[in-house]
Amino acid sequence: MAASEPPEPPPRSPVSRPVTARVPAKVNVQLAVGGLRPDGFHDLANVFLAVGLHDEVTAAPADALRITVEGADAAQVPLDRTNLAARAARALAERYGIEPGVHLHIAKDIPVAGGMAGGSADAAGALLACDALWGTQAPRAELLEICAELGSDIPFSLVGGVALGRGRGELLTPLETGGAFHWVFAVADGGLSTPAVYRECDRLREASGTGASAADVPDPEPSRALLDALRTGDATALAAAVSNDLQPAALSLRPALADTLRAGADAGALASLVSGSGPTCAFLAKGPEAAQAVATGLAASGTCRTVRVTSGPVPGARLVHA
Ligand code: C5P
């Protein structure tokens, strides 16, 4: 064999014991939404930040594809073919010509339909866990390609940290950050449908007379002040720069979220915003003590179902070794 020829890939070696992947939630510190494209999506300048709430997806050998879910929100997770983790397992199996015989068990801690990419996290986790279980050893670029086919936010669930998403959010550029930021999340009762929130955003734009098409809306651009604040780790500067173009739409569909945002601000949050398409609200705090104070104020306000305190950025999907 000539020295320049690439080495043979290692043989596929499926494992027989269960494999677990741990995947973070996200908050969008900037979500700039362009006009409606002919394909039904919107171009974005989407700055994702991964935070320390995680789902765990365990893949175990089975005769056929099967899903089980545990956690407070488990009953809200679809168990049929639409489940994103199941779709991820099937997509990987199809590419490698294998049967998707796998039992996927999801230990769910990320709010369901909350605007924190919980479904995306499960898809990225299932992909990583099945890749290890089946020994498919898919290159990173291929995993990212499968993620992008399955959903706009899923590549970020794999990558984690902080990243700018362009296109419909799937074209990622990792960003530098100067430290951890402290976050409080107010989880609402019930979820919001992402397509419905985008539709409401378009409707509000039409109603205001600006128009909603790509020709009517300026191209979304990342905020220089926001990128600087992330790089320097300056929470006060980040608070001044966060923005979410989907927030008016989420508030229009769920007006009570205004009370939640106000309660967090009253309790000392540096910034209060809807997370992605909502209805989870995100609050940036100066430090860990301030975050606890914001959480206490939110819990006492009675404007949300649950309050979670965490920090980020954190790494993306990882295999958990027992
Ligand atoms: O990519 P994903 O499956 O998460 O998108 C769900 C829906 O959200 C899309 O069908 C579309 O209605 C909306 N969406 C959008 N623009 C994006 C991402 C999502 O309009 N950039």
Each residue of 153-172: pLDDT tens digit? 999 999 999 999 999 999 99
Cis peptide before 100 (omega within 30 of 0): no
Ligand 1: does its nearest atom lie under 6 Å from the Cβ of 195? yes
Q: Is 277 in the pocket of ligand 1 (CB under 6 A)?
A: no
User: What's the whole-model pTM score?
Assistant: 0.95
At 218, list the tokens. Answer: 């300026």
Residue bearing the CA closest to ligand 1, atom 7: 195
What percent of the chain shows pLDDT beyond 90?
Answer: 93
pLDDT of residue 250: 98
Domains of the chain: 19-175 (3.30.230.10), 181-312 (3.30.70.890)
> pLDDT tens across 33-50, in order?
999 999 999 999 999 999
pLDDT at 82: 87
**Spatial separation of the C-alpha atoms in residues 17 and 8, rounded to whole Å:** 26
- Secondary structure (3-state) at 263: helix
Three-class SS of residue 285? strand
- What pLDDT does 1 receive? 42
Residue 2 is predicted with a pLDDT of 45
Q: Is the pLDDT of residue 321 over 60?
A: yes
Q: Please determine, for residue 81, whether its predicted confidence score (pLDDT) is greater than 90.
A: no
pLDDT for the residue 283? 98
Whether residue 87 has its Cβ less than 6 Å from ligand 1 = no
Contact in structure between 301 and 263 (CB atoms under 8 Å): yes
Indicate the pairing of strand 181-187 with strand 171-174.
Answer: unpaired
Does 202 score more than 60 pLDDT?
yes
Please state, rounded to an integer, the average pLDDT across all residues of the chain. Answer: 95
Q: How far is the CA of 194 from the centre of ligand 1 (A)?
A: 7
Task: Quick: pLDDT tens for 7-26.
Answer: 555 556 788 899 999 999 99
Active site residues: 26, 153
Closest C-alpha to ligand 1, atom 12: 195
Q: Is 88 annotated as a binding residue?
A: no
Return the pLDDT at 15.
83
